[in-house]
Amino acid sequence: MNRLPDLEAWAIFAKVAETGSFARAAAELSLSQATVSKAVSRLEARMKTVLFHRTSRRLSLTESGLAALERASRILEEGEAVEAEVAEQSNSLRGPIRMTAPMSFGLSHVAPVLPPFMARYPEVTLDVHFSDEQVDLIEKRFDFALRISSLADSSLLVRRLCTVRILLVGSPAYFEQHGRPRHPRELAAHRALQYAYARTGSSWRFRHARHGEFTQAMVTPLRVNNAEALAPALRAGLGLALQPEFLAWQDLQSGALETAMDDWQVDAIALHIVSPPGRGRPARVQALMDYFAQHFASEPWARPVGE
């Protein structure tokens, strides 16, 4: 297998030829003069030829050096150009951002707030993936994820934005027909509309300030892998559901849904920004993360961290 070309040494060679001096090249490249000299000697040994005529008073290119100079200079120029371009993208609000968010939350709350960000930063391009699957951010090369859950410990960086309550909800027609439960044990006589990825499965767990914890297994005529898909059945009075407040908020305001057992609490979840390890990130990515943090903290369903 052929060895990789010594690109660093060729770039140093080009800088020496440009400045006409090992010392000046070392100063411009912020390298020691010994490092510059060794790089050129390394090339000459590898190429089995002399690239510079060296005297105590003058440094000049040999025929081999002249033949290599144009391409070596191109290596130096391209290297400087790619570093300048990447640095500019890292420090300015332009370039791509890849992110992922849960399906229901993404469609109802992330997608609507993307246009103002895009209008403010027209040179940023967004690649957004909506999925309830917790993908590997590093493997899939995502800049960050919005996640709503109780997160397991990991090497990922986590920024908690707000707390989200889980509410027991149903339609007024359902409560009129089947009654409004006051204690979790009464839920045995009710029908559960179930989110497939719920942490406790088809058993619903509640806490009460005085009565402690109570878990009730539920009859489940409908099970979906997207919590937003429960809304039509809820409005139609076909059962009860445990829904995050951000999904039920508008229906609760309009009266299409009502809450029950308000003195019994379900463990709250939280909205997080999760990003790969490493504190350095492009300015465009940080800008979108800050934008989401500011926006979602002010939503009417968002509770301050710790509540």
pLDDT tens, residue by residue, 32-63: 999 999 999 999 999 999 999 988 788 999 99
Residue 176, classified by CB atoms within 10 Å of its CB into exposed (0-12), middle (13-18) or buried (19+), is exposed
The closest of 228, 224, 155, 153 to 195, measured between CA atoms, is: 224
Reported residue count of the chain is: 307
**Percent of the chain residues topping a pLDDT of 90:** 60
Give mean pLDDT, residues 158-178.
Answer: 93
Domains of the chain with bracketed CATH:
7-91 (1.10.10.10), 95-162+271-297 (3.40.190.10), 164-269 (3.40.190.10)
Integer CA distances (angstroms), 262 to 111, 142, 302, in order: 31, 39, 17
Residue matched to tokens 């109570």: 214
Q: Rounded to the nearest 10 degrees, what angle do helices 22-29 and 33-47 cross at?
A: 110
Confidence of residue 175 (pLDDT cuts 50, 70, 90): very high
84-98, 157-171, 178-192: the lowest-pLDDT one: 84-98
Which has the higher per-residue pLDDT, 170 or 151?
A: 170
pTM above 0.75, yes or no: no
Give mean pLDDT, residues 277-297.
Answer: 87
Confidence of residue 144 (pLDDT cuts 50, 70, 90): very high
Q: What count of other Cβ atoms lies within 10 Å of the Cβ of residue 165?
A: 19
Q: How far apart are CA 206 and CA 203, in angstroms?
A: 10
Give mean pLDDT, residues 10-31.
Answer: 91
pLDDT at 1: 41
- Structure tokens belonging to residue 91: 């420090």
- Structure tokens belonging to residue 148: 């709503």
- Please, what is the Cα angle at 168 between 163 and 174, to 5 degrees? 150
Confidence of residue 117 (pLDDT cuts 50, 70, 90): very high
Residue 63, classified by CB atoms within 10 Å of its CB into exposed (0-12), middle (13-18) or buried (19+), is exposed
Alpha helices in the chain (DSSP H): 7-19, 22-29, 33-47, 63-91, 103-105, 114-120, 172-178, 231-235, 245-254, 283-297
CB under 8 Å, gap of 24 or more: what pairs does 287-295 form?
287/93, 287/121, 287/124, 288/97, 288/99, 288/117, 288/124, 288/126, 289/144, 289/159, 291/113, 291/117, 292/110, 292/113, 292/146, 292/161, 293/159, 293/161, 295/113
Confidence of residue 153 (pLDDT cuts 50, 70, 90): low
Integer CA distances (angstroms), 217 to 76, 102, 278, in order: 69, 26, 43
Q: How far apart are CA 160 and CA 272, in angstroms?
A: 4
- Structure tokens belonging to residue 109: 């709350």
Look at residue 279 and tell me whether its pLDDT is greater than 60: no
pLDDT at 219: 86
What string of H, E and C letters represents the secondary structure of 71-118?
Answer: HHHHHHHHHHHHHHHHHHHHHCCCEEEEEEECHHHHHHHHHHHHHHHH
pLDDT at 152: 60
Look at residue 76 and tell me whether its pLDDT is greater than 90: no
Task: Please report, to the nearest 10 degrees, the dihedral formed by the alpha carbons of residues 216, 220, 226, 227 taken in order.
Answer: -50
Give mean pLDDT, residues 265-284.
Answer: 85
User: Residue 66 in contact with residue 73, Cβ under 8 Å?
Assistant: no
Look at residue 206 and tell me whether its pLDDT is greater than 80: yes
Give mean pLDDT, residues 298-303.
Answer: 89
